[in-house]
Structure formats: structure tokens, C-alpha cells
Amino acid sequence: MLSLIGILQFAYNINTSEYEDVNLYDVLNVNKYATEKEITKSYKRLLIQNNRNRNPTERAKKVWRQTEFAHDILSNPSSRKLYDSFGNVILNHTNFSVFAYRSDIELAEIKKMYRGGQSPSFPGVVIFPVQFDLIDFMNGATKNIKIMRTVPCTCKKGGQRCPKCRKNPFQQMLVVEKLFLPKGASDKFRMYYPELVDSPIDRGCHEIIFVAYLREDGVFKRDGVHIRRNITISLPEILNGGNYTFENPDGEEISIPLDGVQHREERRIKGKGIPYFDDPKTRGDVIVTFFIDFPTKLDEEQKKIVRTNLPDDFGSYA
């Protein structure tokens, strides 16, 4: 197993000045709403135009790098989503560079373009999204990720090639890697694993970055280190008073007094939210917004409750 050498966030800067003022969609001559097919078609056209073997100038090499970079980001739905959300921040605030990871099908097509010649190497990384529940970000979590690697055949050196080698010098190997999400990690937290994907001998790509995405919860919503929840409660429940009790994502019961609760009022429970990443012993808050369900009609019992709780002096309603 390969070990984790670092857990990275979007806070480390690298020098990507070559791409700072570059719009990746403009590089590929497509608009922001282009389909995956349109992006691939435009890339292939530019690939032929900017073939660096035929145009070995520095400018041609720069255009080639930008074309490869743009296609790699925009052809992958995960990295395209990050780019659309953060723009060049994802390029300037990471400590990795993505240079043209390709699937086997795309590599075969590129080799055809070169008419049997040697295709260019494509060193880089793969962005791989992984979903986690809210409780995972609160308590930390470990997941087993299965990855299929392409590696050189492991037959003995110096001897004859094995039957597999004669057909293909590379083989598929299933790797199970433990992915650790630390307590208090931010949404889109990145975990960096080097040399985990394909052998650099076969394809340049041999690094992978897992991006932790928060799985949507139908009840709770993350707001930084805080947790928000909406609660709809009936008017009689408000008038009767008492407490409203619910279970936090970590299983802890939280009880909120209903006395004086107003429609759309927020109540904050200190220290019951998500731990701070740099100070796990300190937690954010749980913020509850109450919505009162006002009835259109009242039965006799409900009318009795209203009469009991509301003052007789109409001047009190001013």
C-alpha cells in the first residue's frame, strides 16, 4: 500500500502565472455552456493545428500546454465543476498541476492522429470526487477506495516474457486505499496521494487528488462550522409551551424552549456544530429557524387554547 504523504486544502499557492489571465473556455474556442462532445471536438481540431512536432517554437509549445491544460480541466465533469465554481482560484490555490490525463480510448485516438508515431507523454494528476455525510465532517471518517491501476507486468526480470507480457506489457491491478477525512475538514477538502494511479512508464498520470464533497442532507445544512436546520411547528404547540427536542447529526439530543418563539426566529445552540479544523476541541453552533404553521381554521379545543393564552385587552396587540 502507498501511504498518504499530505492532506491539502485550497490554501497553498503555486506559481501558475502562465494560466492566471487565461480563460480555459476561450483557449478551446468554446463557450461556458459547451457540451462535452463540443469540447472534445474543438480540442481535437486544435490538437492537429498545434502539433508541436510540426511547430517546435516556444509560442507553439505554450499554446499546446494551455490547450492540454484547458481540455484536461473542462473534459472532466468533476474538475470542470470546480473550475466553474472557483475560476482560476482552483489553478492558483493548489499545489498540483493537471496536464492531460487521458483515458485509454482517448490515447488510442491520439495515437491515430500521429499515424503510428509515438504519442506525447502526459504527466499529471486525476481529480476524484468522494461524497461524505455531515457526520463524517463532524467526527472524521475513513473510507476504503478501490482503484484499478495500470502497471508493468510483474514477471521475473532477465527471463522470458510471460504469456501476458507477449500480448501487453502492462496489466491491471486492483488497489484498495484507505482515505482519511479529518475532523472538521471543509467541504471540497483535498487529500493527495502520489503514485496511486497509472505507472509513469505507461501513462504520465500517476497522482490522484480526492476531493471530499458533502452529501446533501434533507434535514441539516452546513454553514461553515455551523449547522442549520429549519423546524416547522404548529401554533398550538407554541401556545402550549414546553420544549422542542430533536437529534443532532452526531446522535446527541438537543432541546429548545418554545416560550416566546416567533415566526422565522433563529435560535442558536452554542458548541453543538462542526469542530474547527485547526482546533477540533472547539465547535461551531447549531442554528435552528422556526416556522410557525398558522391554521386557517380552529376547532373548539384550539379556540379554547387561544383564549387562554391571549390577553383580553386588545391594546396589548399594538
Cβ contacts of residue 182 below 8 Å, gap of 6+? 7, 140, 189, 277
Pick from 12-21, 144-153, 305-314: least confident: 12-21
Residue 209 · residue 196 · CB < 8 Å: no
Asked if pLDDT for residue 312 goes beyond 90, the answer is no
Asked if pLDDT for residue 123 goes beyond 60, the answer is no
To the question of domain 121-215 being in CATH 2.60.40.10, the answer is no
Tell me the average pLDDT of the chain.
74
Here the cell at position 149 is 491501476
- Binned at pLDDT 50, 70 and 90, residue 101 comes out as very low
Q: What is the pLDDT, as a whole number, of residue 311?
A: 64
Nearest-5° Cα angle at 199, 193 to 204: 85
- Burial degree of 256 (CB within 10 A; 0-12, 13-18, 19+): middle
Q: Report the phi/psi class of residue 147: left, alpha or beta, with left for phi > 0 and alpha for psi in -120 to 50.
A: beta
Looking at domain 220-296, its CATH superfamily turns out to be Urease metallochaperone UreE, N-terminal domain (2.60.260.20)
What percent of the chain clears pLDDT 70, i.e. is strictly above it? 62
Residue with the larger pLDDT of the pair 134 and 116: 134
Q: What is the pLDDT, as a whole number, of residue 39?
A: 92
Residue 199 · residue 152 · CB < 8 Å: yes
If DSSP codes are grouped into helix, strand and coil, which group holds residue 232? strand
Asked if pLDDT for residue 112 goes beyond 70, the answer is no
Pick from 27-41, 70-84, 130-144, 221-235: least confident: 70-84
Q: What is the pLDDT, as a whole number, of residue 6?
A: 26
What mean pLDDT is predicted for residues 179-195?
Answer: 84
Q: What is the pLDDT, as a whole number, of residue 66?
A: 81
Q: Helices in 114-234 by DSSP H: which ranges?
A: 134-139, 163-167
What mean pLDDT is predicted for residues 265-293?
Answer: 94
pLDDT in tens, 23-72: 889 989 999 999 989 998 998 888 777 654 555 577 777 777 788 778 87
Here the cell at position 297 is 381554521
Domain ranges of the chain: 1-119, 121-215, 220-296
What mean pLDDT is predicted for residues 140-165?
Answer: 72
Q: What is the pLDDT, as a whole number, of residue 141?
A: 94
Residue 249 · residue 134 · CB < 8 Å: yes
Quickly name the fold that domain 1-119 has: Helix Hairpins (1.10.287)
Q: What is the pLDDT, as a whole number, of residue 75?
A: 84
What mean pLDDT is predicted for residues 100-126?
Answer: 44
Q: What is the pLDDT, as a whole number, of residue 94?
A: 37
User: Identical fold at 1-119 and 220-296?
Assistant: no
Residue 267 · residue 288 · CB < 8 Å: yes
Asked if pLDDT for residue 4 goes beyond 50, the answer is no
